[in-house]
Structure 1
Amino acid sequence: MRSRTRAAAGALAAGVVSVLLATTASAAPGPGAPGVGDPYYPNAGNGGTDVQHYNIRLSYQPDTDLLSGTTTLLLTATQDLSRFNLDFALKASSVLVNNRPAKFTSSTGDGELVITPAEALAKGQTATVVVQYADTPSKAKVDGINGWKHGVFGALGVDEPQSAQWWFPSNDHPTDKATYDVSIEAPDGLAALTSGSLVSKRKSRAGWTRWNWRSTQPQATYLTPFVVGKYDVRESKTPDGKPFITAYGSDLGNSRAAAEASVERTPEINAFLATRFGPYPFEAEGGVVTSGIGFSLENQTRPVYGLKNFAGGANTTLIAHENAHQWFGDNVSLGRWSDIWLNEGFASYAEWLWSEHEGEGTVAELAQYTYDSHAADADLWKAVPADPGKDHQFDDAVYSRGALTLQALRTAVGDEAFFKILKDWQAAKSGKDARIPEFIALAEKVSGKPLHELFQTWLYTAGKPANGPNGAAGAKAPAAAQSRFTVAKPKSYDQIEANHRLLATEHGH
């Protein structure tokens, strides 16, 4: 009897061991994906990690374009990881993971820094990743593209949809937001600017000054700018006490006054936008005007404006556009780059709101003029705002037709429901990313009206809508125009939210 019990116990133990071995084998750590799964930019972001904070400490010499220093990432593994990627175009010299040297392969033109830690990371484990590097960003290309700007103006790490990888290793996709401490040392007489509040500026060594900045709210990587050059930096406070920091390049020439007359009105413009969108979401305000770019970008708390935007005089509608992004694009970021309408359509609509506020035509008048000014075969109607394609995501169809969509929505639901939708969107998704179907579902929930057909017509169907944004009949779309996409009719806002959370989990964010 005793021996039979021992035999049975031995068989049971062997079975338990085999189950444990099988379980261990099936749960072996694997590599994180090289991207989050964005169809437009497959390698953007990274799977398996969620970054909470970046501490970036750099020195930069514009004369040689040499950028050197260390970026420390505080992140959490979202799966068992044998290795993981960071988006980075420069050459790393060393990598530590939890204070132990890690194996890594530096950029080979695809913008991927592949890191293999000494010990695998378990799902839910936090990690401190330290990357040291020294390189010349103007020589680094990712998929044949260089996003760094270097010239007599100094240097700019400012671009969209990606710019971070030319100056710090990151998860370079809006679905992985983090807080930031950025410290940039530059030669005396030059400014070093980025987002957030200026914590300190001090002499660091002979001939050098270090600028220390902090951003305390969730921030997407491409919204974190790098600006070094000769700038006139102004520090003050907004009427409600927030830091207000602006900077003007020393080479702005005759457009300097027009730039100042625009950017210095930022607190006034943001106060107006807050009446339409809800409270301003961040801890600081400001702006930078530079000759180094021709476009403007909504960098968080401190948009960067290209000089040529002020060649014709003051341009407060541009200030309204880029600062509307502080709500739409920065506070609530897109979940995929195909969702760019959630950024640009709303910022373009803010231009009309500001024009009306300034007595330069009502929103309804401006929207109708835009609709009437474009014939049925115009380019404005050819792209589909809800998914314009990688090569057309910054076309006027996303901007102007995107704004027309919002006016059509306002016409359908009325002013009270419309502005409640905008404010509720900000409150519900603050500090997060979102998808277009979520907005459609929220609009239906708040208004209590079926809006599927409206969005199908304005966002998902090529061709000029038969009725204008104010409901009046207009030129019909060509007979050949037809929808390339179909918006799924929302079942409920809560179901849309649940689906989005599921997708985020699948991609490690």
Structure 2
Amino acid sequence: MKHYIGLCLLLLVLATNQVVAQEKFITLSGKITDAGSHQPVIYANIQLKSGSIGTVANTAGDFIFKVAEKFWQDTLLISCIGYKTVTLPLPSASLQDMDIQLEPSVYLLPAVSVNVRDGFGLLRKMISSIPANYDTADVRLTAFYRENIRLMADTINFNESVLDIYKTYHTGRDHKDQIHIIKGRKKKVDWSKDPQLYGWISNITNTAYSSLNEDLQKYLDAKNNILNERNFRYYTCDYKETIREGDHNLLVLTLQPKDDSRKALVQAKIYIDEATMALVRCELKTTPAGNDYLNRHQKGGIGYTIMSKIVKATIDFTNISLVITYKQYGNKTYLSTVQRHWDWVVNSKKRGMKDVPWTGDFYLLVTDMTKDSLQRFATGISNDKASMNNEVGNNYDPSFWENYNILLPELQDSVKPKKDAARPAGKVTHVSNRQNGFTRADTLRGALSPLRSCYDVSFYHLDVDLNMETRSIAGSNQIRFKVVAPFNRMQIDLYANMHIQKILYEDQPLSFIREEDAVFVSFPATLSAGSEETITVYYDGIPQVPDFKIPMHGGILWDKDEKGNPWVQVVCQGSGASLWWPNKDHLSDEPDSMRISITIPNGFTEISNGRLQRKTPAGSDKTRYEWLVTYPINNYNATFCIGKYTNFKDTYVSGHDTLTLDYYVMPYNVERARTMFAQVKPMLACYEQHFGKYPFPRDGFTLLEGLYPMEHQSSVCIGKIKAGMQLDYTPLLWHESAHEWWGNAISCKDIADMWIHEAFATYAESLMMECSDGKDAGVAYLNAQKDGVKNREPVVGVYNVNHIHYDIGDMYTKGSLLLNTFRFVLNNDTQWFTLLKDIQQHFRYQTLSSDDLVNYISLRTGKDYTWFFDQYLKYTHIPKLEISLKEKGNNLQLTYRWLADVSGFKMPVKVTLAPERFGFIYPTTQWQTITLKQMREDDFEVDEDHFYIQVTEV
């Protein structure tokens, strides 16, 4: 199982439609039990002999089966592997409380060709036969899906759907299973008793996708898969019996935890076809250790942590039951059914709830399979992060939903690919990156050539008029600079689609030529080193708009607010500020200060960086806003947001210092904003505790609602405030605000090192969780980031070519995880947080490279950590700890080493040196062996919660 139970809880309050029926039908209901023990037979199949319709019993053996009039002449079949099939005539009227007892179908063989006592031998033979029995080719499936969630006696989520599934054997991120919902319905549920709680606990991240993830044979190497041989040591495996199922003999094996095994997460019964050694059925049930594991690792990470705080309730797993079956098509077996039952208890002191039972039943039944004309879906793909309750929608189709059963023949037409299911690729825009290569234009944009390094910008005055009707800009930028080395020719930057009217120096025009987005300006005489000079560039044009299909492609966003008013914002972090104003567009050079003047139509508010100096009329129908930034600022942070804003203020007092807080939001969101911004003061206190004082006190701290979240210096944009947002915990606000320290107060010299901005800001989110809810919450937040790491490209990009137009997600997640790992490598929080403050002070208002940062860390800690940062930043692989465990009497022999790309990789890591006690070992790339006294294999763990590594047992 790729993820044994993948659980993330979402607050989704949804509208529903009622179900109605039109055709006559009879309803059969009752219980199916074992004739000998009288215990429920869970997940027994109830169907018509013709195969037209069917349903399944739940974990209590109960069933409800509705049969339409057109099927009344059929025969009822009740079956379950391990039992004799029962055949009954259909009654002529509805029946309730039917008591159907199934007789075990045990068939004892007179002679067995294998050692019946060697359960593991049989299991290994079945596993070795998987390549021959289980089809590893992609396949198209049709399936019925049902989700039924209850809190005590209340049904809080019931939905059913028919799915079109593209199922692949691949387990990578780029070729995943896909689900398209053909038809679906859901029951109207009353959440009025407690909409917040019911909304939280009734919507589980797409359980249809997670059902596919339970495919034991596909995810054979998954860490917790019971068929993964490294887990065998935690279990006993016994051959129990051979039963007859149709014309097949099935070997029945049981896996039970060894005494006191803390790593045996489930107990299992496995059915194997004796002739082919193919896996037919597996029944799993969590052990107490398994429930403990789920509660520690699988409750939804940060999503659970945040929602638990908001809702003021907790959930805990008490049991998981899982039945997986496989069916033969041709000479191969395929996933047939996945039946899951979850038990939680809900506790909420606020509501007086103590151990209130929550149950969930999730059932996937494959009804058809094809391998003809396979093509991955291009549209209509169900969101694997959304709940099925949300995905199913409210459409009701009476011609299909005459009953609650599985309809096989009527599905054939509905699974035909829609005309828009696959579309030919459109025109491909060249995007410069490692895969596509780089161009002369990229070098002009990204390299610090002599025509750029010869001068150092000290001040900009950007003064523009924005025409909101034509979406154009016209104005000027005054560039004041110091001559570093004598020159008579310099490079500035402005996108080629923007028009330069003239460039003045000492009131005289300068000649210039353009190449790509670079502008080469010539002076009549050589400028002397040390002199301070000024040029003014007059320009106009229509700046580009962002193309969100291209990563980090910037421009001016044009939108409308909820009242239909124009709303405008510039976002240019990746593409560069020169897409809308002329400047020296290289991150290594920031002006010491900047004045921004934006003229806009009357009736709107304009927000830029720093403090507003004045508003002045510009003719009869325009207003000029003048802002002053009194600190160094990188070019992409210079911004404007224009809309029908309202403003309110506050102050933050820290010791003897008082910081002005300015908030700009849409008028209809003022109350939501006040709730959201209640986090700001605790957040600032947390960040000052760990990073030092807020870095721009003269300019104040502004937060504003905008079209796109962005860390514009002293004018941080948090995106749109929407109805239904969680306002008490807003990680996006934490992230963008953390950039004031990481990205704004200190900035990278080359965008290839932008991890310095994003990794620290993402790590800061976990510190905010730690400040508000404790260290365990911070750890949960960090570990939830692991699923986002892709390890496709190194964290550090290619230098000197503005390498940014690619998936930079690992700069955030992997970067954050490497910082947390380094915290625990140091194993001294006082040293770690002092180091963060020292970095801020040493590099404040400067630009730096990765090498600058790593060299400084090595200097301050007194150790060379180049090997650590090189591995995580420059290679796609994370370090792999190889271990070998061997019990010797009452002791455990541990052999270990690192596998890493960096020679001499030597990261210390914590493992259990004694039962339930972690301590450091010091692996290198060479094998080492130690003996752990009074330890068993079952006691041994590697601390993967605090160290972002891969662990492999050899």
- TM tier relative to shorter chain: 0.7 to 0.9
Q: 1:115 to 1:146 in 2, by over 3 A?
A: same
TM-superposition CA deviations, 1:94-133 (whole Å, max 9, x none): 2111222211346x7x222322223332232221111122
2:824 to 394, 398, 411: 411
2:521 aligned with 1:81, yes or no?
Answer: no
1:346 to 760, 768, 786: 760
2:510 aligned with 1:102, yes or no?
Answer: yes
TM-superposition CA deviations, 1:128-156 (whole Å, max 9, x none): 11112232224899xx9762223434332
2:776 to 359, 362, 366: 362
Q: Which moved more, 1:222-231 or 1:148-157?
A: 148-157
* Distance in 1, Cα, partners of 2:445 & 2:678: 36
Q: Does the CA contact (< 8 Å) of 2:572 and 2:579 recur in 1?
A: no
TM-superposition CA deviations, 1:467-495 (whole Å, max 9, x none): 69xxxxxxx9998x846x999xxxxxxxx
* Distance in 1, Cα, partners of 2:848 & 2:797: 15
* Distance in 2, Cα, partners of 1:366 & 1:60: 46
2:810 aligned with 1:381, yes or no?
Answer: no
2:700 aligned with 1:289, yes or no?
Answer: no
Q: 1:339 to 1:423 in 2, by over 3 A?
A: same
Matches within 5 A, 1:326-345: 326-345=740-759
TM-superposition CA deviations, 1:374-395 (whole Å, max 9, x none): 4xxx853333223478357653
Q: 1:100 to 1:311 in 2, by over 3 A?
A: farther
Q: Which moved more, 1:430-439 or 1:455-464?
A: 455-464
* Distance in 2, Cα, partners of 1:40 & 1:117: 22
* Distance in 2, Cα, partners of 1:486 & 1:117: 53
CA deviation after TM superposition for structure 1 residue 308, in Å: 7.0
2:661 maps to 244
Q: Does the CA contact (< 8 Å) of 2:503 and 2:538 recur in 1?
A: yes
Q: Which moved more, 1:302-311 or 1:60-69?
A: 302-311
1:169 maps to 582
* Distance in 1, Cα, partners of 2:588 & 2:805: 21
1:62 maps to 468
Runs of 4+ in 1 over 6 A off after TM superposition: 35-40, 476-479
- SS of 1:185's equivalent in the other structure is strand
* Distance in 1, Cα, partners of 2:523 & 2:618: 33
Q: Which moved more, 1:121-130 or 1:35-44?
A: 35-44
2:792 maps to a residue whose letter is: K
1:288 maps to a residue whose letter is: L
Structure 1 residue runs of 5 or longer lacking an equivalent are 1-34, 469-475, 488-509
CA deviation after TM superposition for structure 1 residue 77, in Å: 2.3
- SS of 1:241's equivalent in the other structure is strand
Matches within 5 A, 1:337-486: 337-359=751-773, 362=776, 365-366=779-780, 369-370=783-784, 374=787, 380-387=790-797, 390=803, 395-413=808-826, 414-466=828-880, 482=901
CA deviation after TM superposition for structure 1 residue 267, in Å: 4.0
Q: Does the CA contact (< 8 Å) of 1:465 and 1:477 recur in 2?
A: no
- SS of 1:68's equivalent in the other structure is strand
Q: Does the CA contact (< 8 Å) of 2:879 and 2:898 recur in 1?
A: no
1:328 maps to a residue whose letter is: W
Structure number with greater Rg is 2
- SS of 2:603's equivalent in the other structure is coil
TM-superposition CA deviations, 1:412-436 (whole Å, max 9, x none): 2111111111111111111111111
TM-superposition CA deviations, 1:24-79 (whole Å, max 9, x none): xxxxxxxxxxx999798348993422110011222212122232222111112222
Q: 1:191 to 1:43 in 2, by over 3 A?
A: farther
1:174 maps to a residue whose letter is: L
* Distance in 2, Cα, partners of 1:148 & 1:285: 23
- SS of 2:705's equivalent in the other structure is strand
CA deviation after TM superposition for structure 1 residue 227, in Å: 1.7
1:458 maps to a residue whose letter is: Y
Q: Does the CA contact (< 8 Å) of 2:545 and 2:555 recur in 1?
A: no
CA deviation after TM superposition for structure 1 residue 368, in Å: 6.2
* Distance in 2, Cα, partners of 1:286 & 1:368: 28
* Distance in 2, Cα, partners of 1:486 & 1:95: 55
- Bigger relative contact order, structure 1 or 2 (CA pairs below 8 A, ≥6 apart): 1
1:300 maps to 713
- SS of 1:233's equivalent in the other structure is strand
Matches within 5 A, 1:115-126: 115-126=521-532
Compute the RMSD of aligned alpha carbons: 3.5
Q: 1:486 to 1:170 in 2, by over 3 A?
A: farther
Q: Does the CA contact (< 8 Å) of 1:464 and 1:477 recur in 2?
A: no
Structure 2 residue runs of 5 or longer lacking an equivalent are 1-439, 561-565, 883-895, 906-954
Q: Does the CA contact (< 8 Å) of 2:871 and 2:901 recur in 1?
A: no
* Distance in 2, Cα, partners of 1:215 & 1:39: 28
* Distance in 2, Cα, partners of 1:402 & 1:244: 30
* Distance in 1, Cα, partners of 2:805 & 2:524: 43
* Distance in 1, Cα, partners of 2:742 & 2:867: 24
Q: Does the CA contact (< 8 Å) of 2:752 and 2:804 recur in 1?
A: no
1:114 to 490, 508, 520: 520
Q: 1:387 to 1:204 in 2, by over 3 A?
A: closer
* Distance in 2, Cα, partners of 1:369 & 1:478: 22
CA deviation after TM superposition for structure 1 residue 352, in Å: 0.3
2:526 maps to a residue whose letter is: A
Q: Does the CA contact (< 8 Å) of 1:173 and 1:222 recur in 2?
A: no
1:71 maps to 477
Using the size of structure 2 for normalisation, the TM-score is: 0.42
Q: 1:118 to 1:450 in 2, by over 3 A?
A: closer
CA deviation after TM superposition for structure 1 residue 369, in Å: 2.6
2:623 maps to 209
Q: Does the CA contact (< 8 Å) of 1:101 and 1:117 recur in 2?
A: no
2:636 maps to a residue whose letter is: Y
CA deviation after TM superposition for structure 1 residue 405, in Å: 0.9
CA deviation after TM superposition for structure 1 residue 443, in Å: 1.9
* Distance in 2, Cα, partners of 1:477 & 1:231: 59
Q: Does the CA contact (< 8 Å) of 2:766 and 2:779 recur in 1?
A: no
CA deviation after TM superposition for structure 1 residue 286, in Å: 1.1
CA deviation after TM superposition for structure 1 residue 297, in Å: 1.4
Q: 1:486 to 1:61 in 2, by over 3 A?
A: farther
Q: Does the CA contact (< 8 Å) of 1:334 and 1:435 recur in 2?
A: yes
2:607 maps to 193
1:114 maps to a residue whose letter is: F
CA deviation after TM superposition for structure 1 residue 310, in Å: 7.7
Q: Does the CA contact (< 8 Å) of 2:881 and 2:898 recur in 1?
A: no
CA deviation after TM superposition for structure 1 residue 80, in Å: 2.2
CA deviation after TM superposition for structure 1 residue 216, in Å: 0.4
Structure with the higher strand share, 1 or 2: 2
Q: 1:465 to 1:366 in 2, by over 3 A?
A: farther
Structure with the higher helix share, 1 or 2: 1
Matches within 5 A, 1:488-503: none
Q: 1:308 to 1:458 in 2, by over 3 A?
A: farther
Matches within 5 A, 1:126-205: 126-138=532-544, 147-152=555-560, 153-178=566-591, 179-205=593-619
1:494 maps to none
